[in-house]
């Protein structure tokens, strides 16, 4: 089983990103998520205070109703 | 069967700290086990000498905070035990702040106990039994909590009681010769489930005559609405075989004193819901609420089958409810909401037949905050209350019209009317004031200084009116959450602690995704707030939050306002007309009576009792 199949629904990535304003941080975070190979992602939270932006991005690996990796894997090895 | 007493060596392999081991030693001694606690700071070879000297030791529990080269030290200890030929004789355990089970295994230990481990867990391991946080043998004897137990529903405010008696008498009389498609569907559904074969007997063929729009189309043509699909046999089979989440749970609920915590599920997919429910149960939720799609409340009739759809809220079908019920912990309270739409009575029938514990009904909110026609929802609401009484389902009477701008005293007047009606019809209501940063307080400033006083005033006011259970919601802290998960979790926890301090029976809490509208709620976000609330309860213990004197002043003002509104409604002679005319919240408050279901009432042909 690939590790991503064991993730129930989503992966959140939180960080503090050095940026002058939230728009810049948003672009950087989106670029980072794309570089990580995520395709279904969103920026959940941005707050610019001080030298940068507190940021949280989310990638959905299993949206409700989609085929669930964790369900299929258990079926294969289920008891 | 009595557990054989064990001999255990407790080893603080640490220069100074042995407090954790002292607590564990007490728990082991309380259970009759023989323990020896070594002094801190011994070298590993000295510990091994103790094992040899103290004949018959079966367990060695080492305590050490992991840090620089500590892993090496612990591994050396295990090696030395092996080298001395003792490994078969003793079970080696390790505990400490940074210990994880997999790390303990890597170092050669038989088990590892990390932060948050209770002494009772260690005792359970040593005694070779599965750990249940509420103690040996107690799980099977625990009963599901009845939130209404012990409440007399006696009115302390007799003037309000008199107004309510007049209003509810008028409502019962007004609905007595009326019916609706919703009322008829509920009766067909009941007969179908009770008398028919499966869910399609008992006159089921008439059901579609009372449906409309996409639901009618589904029954005529078999076509599901957009973005809706039937779960496959493979998916359902896989789900039933999936057992990985059972037996692994460290349920943290029972150790904490406070109101029962409810979470809402409704991801759109019952399979995902089940995983979220199991997560919530494990992290302390005592109850779960079925959150259905708002669109479903605007359609006449309910779909059938195991259905998933790509929208907020999980479709209310008999099959979906039955599936979810199969996976609920027997102690988990289950609420199926029926409060705001065209399928209110039928939803209560489904909830009752599926084994729910609670439902949710409020005609005033449905009219003023959810778009329902006051006349239609009054007829359907009374029928739903009768069904709730029939199934002995307790129900909360929610006051979410506050979020539309209706002042609390008007929302509470509506809530008390529905609660009194429920009592008249033999049902058990639970009052659900909002703990929220409502438009009313934004405009008038009751929360300019703190979030405590006005929320506390609501509880104090209701308690001065009637002895009824209270369940703030839904969720607590409404409109105080942001997309920052730390802020969101903290505000939920603080509102929960206020609720605990006020001694209410239950609370509904949000996930830390409450303010995030870009996608489905993630399971980790549910854990965030459950964890935060438990931490808050642990922090306050039996200590209380002290509101300022303003809380009592505002409670008095609320009671006066409620009494005034109820007098006006009683004098008007018509609950339904009061809703149309805005006595319980009107355009000046930002509330407008809805139009969904207008013109669908019919005169009852034959009087049928539920």
Does B36 contact A at CB distance below 8 Å? no
**Closest Cα to residue B168, out of B420, B465, B379?**
B420
**Closest Cα to residue B317, out of B275, B360, B346?**
B346
Residues paired with residue B396 on neighbouring β-strands, in sequence order: B360, B430
Nearest to A9 among B237, B518, B523 (CB): B523
Tens of pLDDT, residue by residue over B367-385, are 999 999 999 999 999 999 9
CB B603 within 8 A of CB B447: no
CB B432 within 8 A of CB B464: no
Show the tokens assigned to B66.
């992991």
To the nearest whole angstrom, how far is the Cα of B528 from the nearest Cα of chain A? Answer: 13
Phi-psi region at B184: left, alpha or beta (left = phi > 0; alpha = psi -120 to 50) = alpha
Residues of chain B with pLDDT under 50: 1, 134-141, 247-249, 254, 609-610
Does A65 contact B at CB distance below 8 Å? yes
Q: Do B522 and A10 touch (CB under 8 A)?
A: yes
Does B309 contact A at CB distance below 8 Å? yes
Does B522 contact A at CB distance below 8 Å? yes
Residue B31 CB-density burial (10 A; 0-12 exposed, 13-18 middle, 19+ buried) = middle
CA B102 to chain centre: 33
Show the tokens assigned to B440.
């009313």
Does A21 contact B at CB distance below 8 Å? no
Does A71 contact B at CB distance below 8 Å? yes
Tens of pLDDT, residue by residue over B129-145, are 765 554 444 444 456 88
Helix intervals (H) in B445-484:
453-465
Q: Give me Rg for the CA atoms of chain A.
A: 16
CB B107 within 8 A of CB B62: no
To the nearest whole angstrom, how far is the Cα of A66 from the nearest Cα of chain B? Answer: 9
If one counts every other C-beta atom within 10 angstroms of the C-beta of residue B198, the result is 9
Phi, psi of B290 (to 5 degrees): -75, 115
**Closest Cα to residue B569, out of B582, B588, B559?**
B582
Residues of A in contact with B308 (CB under 8 A): 64-65
To the nearest whole angstrom, how far is the Cα of A64 from the nearest Cα of chain B? Answer: 5
Does B237 contact A at CB distance below 8 Å? yes
Residues of A in contact with B243 (CB under 8 A): 78-79
Predicted pLDDT of residue B323: 94
Report the alpha-carbon distance of residue B287 to residue B358 in Å, rounded. Answer: 10
Helix intervals (H) in B176-290:
181-195, 213-221, 233-241, 270-282
CB B230 within 8 A of CB B224: yes
Residues of A in contact with B236 (CB under 8 A): none
To the nearest whole angstrom, how far is the Cα of A13 from the nearest Cα of chain B? Answer: 12
To the nearest whole angstrom, how far is the Cα of A47 from the nearest Cα of chain B? Answer: 9
Predicted pLDDT of residue B117: 79
Residues of B in contact with A74 (CB under 8 A): 238, 241-242, 244
Does B242 contact A at CB distance below 8 Å? yes
Probe site for chain A from B520, B521, B525, B528 (most A CB atoms < 10 A) = B520
Nearest to A63 among B238, B243, B520 (CB): B520
Nearest to A74 among B238, B267, B520 (CB): B238
Report the alpha-carbon distance of residue A45 to residue A56 in Å, rounded. Answer: 5
Show the tokens assigned to B528.
């965030």
To the nearest whole angstrom, how far is the Cα of B231 from the nearest Cα of chain A? Answer: 8
Residue B72's SS3 state is: helix
Q: Give me Rg for the CA atoms of chain B.
A: 28
Residue B232's SS3 state is: coil
Residues shown for chain B: 610
Residue B266's SS3 state is: coil
Nearest to B310 among A47, A65, A70 (CB): A65
Cis peptide leading into residue B146 (ω within 30°) = no
Does A58 contact B at CB distance below 8 Å? yes
Q: Do A58 and B235 touch (CB under 8 A)?
A: no
First to last CA, chain B: 50
Architecture of domain A3-77: 2-Layer Sandwich (3.30)
Nearest to A71 among B267, B271, B273 (CB): B271
Report the alpha-carbon distance of residue B281 to residue B558 in Å, rounded. Answer: 36
Residues of A in contact with B327 (CB under 8 A): none
Nearest to B519 among A8, A42, A79 (CB): A42
If one counts every other C-beta atom within 10 angstroms of the C-beta of residue B505, the result is 21
To the nearest whole angstrom, how far is the Cα of B268 from the nearest Cα of chain A? Answer: 6
CB B371 within 8 A of CB B407: no
Report the alpha-carbon distance of residue B63 to residue A67 in Å, rounded. Answer: 44
Tens of pLDDT, residue by residue over B222-278, are 999 888 999 999 898 888 766 555 544 455 554 556 799 999 999 999 999 999 999
Residues of A in contact with B239 (CB under 8 A): 71
Phi, psi of B397 (to 5 degrees): -110, 100
Report the alpha-carbon distance of residue B21 to residue B19 in Å, rounded. Answer: 5
Helix intervals (H) in B283-356:
318-327, 344-354
Q: Do B516 and A45 touch (CB under 8 A)?
A: yes
Probe site for chain B from A54, A65, A69, A77 (most B CB atoms < 10 A) = A65
Does A35 contact B at CB distance below 8 Å? no
Report the alpha-carbon distance of residue B435 to residue B473 in Å, rounded. Answer: 6
Q: How many CB pairs under 8 A join A and B?
A: 81
Report the alpha-carbon distance of residue B371 to residue B365 in Å, rounded. Answer: 9
Q: Which residue bears the tokens 């209770």?
A: B118
* ipTM of the modeled complex: 0.92
Phi, psi of B394 (to 5 degrees): -70, 155
**Closest Cα to residue A57, out of A72, A70, A40?**
A40
Residues of B in contact with A9 (CB under 8 A): 272, 520, 522-523
**Closest Cα to residue B267, out of B324, B343, B318?**
B324
Q: Do A45 and B520 touch (CB under 8 A)?
A: no
Q: Do B518 and A42 touch (CB under 8 A)?
A: yes
Report the alpha-carbon distance of residue B153 to residue B483 in Å, rounded. Answer: 40
Domains observed in chain B: 7-141 (3.40.50.280), 161-228+259-589 (3.20.20.440)
**Closest Cα to residue B508, out of B433, B412, B411, B413?**
B433
**Closest Cα to residue B103, out of B132, B70, B131?**
B70
């Amino acid at each position: 089983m690939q590790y991503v199949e064991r993730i129930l629904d989503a992966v959140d990535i939180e960080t503090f990103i050095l940026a002058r304003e939230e728009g810049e941080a948003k672009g950087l975070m989106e670029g980072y998520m794309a570089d990580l190979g995520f395709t279904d992602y969103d920026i959940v939270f941005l707050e610019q205070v001080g030298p940068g932006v507190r940021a949280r991005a989310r990638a959905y690996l299993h949206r409700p109703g989609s085929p669930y990796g964790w369900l299929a894997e258990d079926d294969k090895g289920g008891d | 069967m009595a557990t054989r007493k064990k001999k255990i060596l407790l080893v603080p392999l640490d220069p100074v700290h042995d407090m954790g081991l002292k607590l564990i030693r007490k728990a082991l001694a309380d259970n009759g086990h023989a323990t020896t606690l070594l002094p801190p700071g011994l070298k590993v070879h000295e510990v091994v000498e103790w094992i040899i000297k103290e004949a018959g030791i079966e367990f060695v529990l080492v305590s050490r905070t992991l840090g620089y080269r500590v892993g090496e030290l612990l591994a050396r200890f295990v090696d030395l035990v092996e080298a001395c030929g003792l490994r078969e004789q003793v079970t080696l355990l390790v505990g400490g702040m940074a210990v994880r089970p997999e790390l303990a295994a890597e170092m050669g230990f038989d088990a590892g106990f990390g932060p948050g481990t209770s002494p009772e867990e260690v005792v359970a391991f040593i005694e070779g039994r599965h750990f249940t946080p509420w103690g040996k043998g107690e799980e099977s004897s625990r009963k599901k909590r009845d939130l209404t137990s012990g409440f007399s529903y006696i009115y302390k405010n007799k003037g309000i009681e008199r107004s309510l008696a007049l209003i509810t008498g008028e409502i019962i009389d007004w609905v007595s010769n009326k019916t609706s498609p919703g009322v008829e569907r509920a009766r067909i559904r009941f007969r179908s489930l009770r008398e028919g074969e499966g869910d399609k007997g008992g006159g089921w063929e008439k059901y579609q005559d009372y449906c409309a729009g996409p639901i009618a189309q589904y029954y005529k043509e078999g076509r599901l609405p957009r973005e809706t699909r039937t779960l496959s046999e493979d998916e359902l089979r896989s789900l039933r075989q999936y057992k990985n989440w059972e037996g692994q749970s460290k349920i943290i609920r029972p150790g904490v004193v406070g109101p029962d915590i409810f979470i809402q599920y409704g991801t759109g997919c019952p399979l995902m819901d089940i995983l979220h429910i199991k997560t919530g149960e494990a992290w302390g939720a005592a109850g779960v609420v079925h959150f259905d799609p708002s669109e479903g409340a605007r359609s006449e009739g309910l779909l059938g089958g195991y259905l998933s759809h790509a929208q907020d809220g999980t479709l209310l079908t008999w099959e979906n409810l039955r599936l979810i019920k199969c996976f609920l912990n027997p102690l988990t309270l289950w609420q199926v909401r029926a409060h705001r739409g065209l399928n209110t009575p039928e939803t209560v029938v489904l909830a009752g037949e599926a084994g729910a514990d609670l439902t949710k009904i409020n005609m005033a909110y449905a009219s003023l905050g959810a778009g329902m026609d006051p006349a239609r929802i009054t007829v359907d609401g009374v029928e739903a209350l009768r069904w709730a009484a029939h199934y002995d389902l307790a129900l909360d009477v929610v006051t979410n019209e506050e979020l539309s701008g209706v002042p609390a005293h008007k929302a509470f007047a509506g809530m008390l009317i529905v609660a009194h009606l429920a009592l008249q019809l033999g049902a058990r209501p639970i009052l659900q004031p909002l703990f929220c940063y409502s438009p009313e307080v934004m405009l008038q400033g009751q929360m300019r200084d703190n979030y405590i006083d006005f929320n506390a005033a609501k509880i104090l006011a209701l308690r001065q009116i009637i002895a009824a259970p209270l369940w703030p919601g839904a969720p607590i802290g409404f409109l105080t959450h942001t997309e920052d998960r730390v802020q969101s979790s903290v505000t939920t926890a603080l509102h929960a602690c206020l609720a605990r301090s006020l001694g209410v029976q239950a609370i509904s809490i949000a996930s830390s995704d409450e303010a995030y509208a870009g996608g489905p709620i993630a399971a980790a976000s549910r854990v965030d707030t459950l964890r935060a609330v438990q931490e808050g309860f642990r922090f306050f213990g039996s200590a209380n939050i002290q509101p300022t004197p303003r809380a009592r002043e505002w409670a008095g003002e609320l009671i006066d306002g409620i009494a005034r509104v109820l007098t006006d409604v009683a004098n008007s002679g018509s609950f339904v007309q009061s809703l149309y005319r805005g006595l319980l919240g009107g355009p000046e408050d930002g509330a407008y009576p809805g139009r969904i279901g207008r013109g669908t009432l019919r005169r009852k042909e034959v009087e049928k009792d539920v």
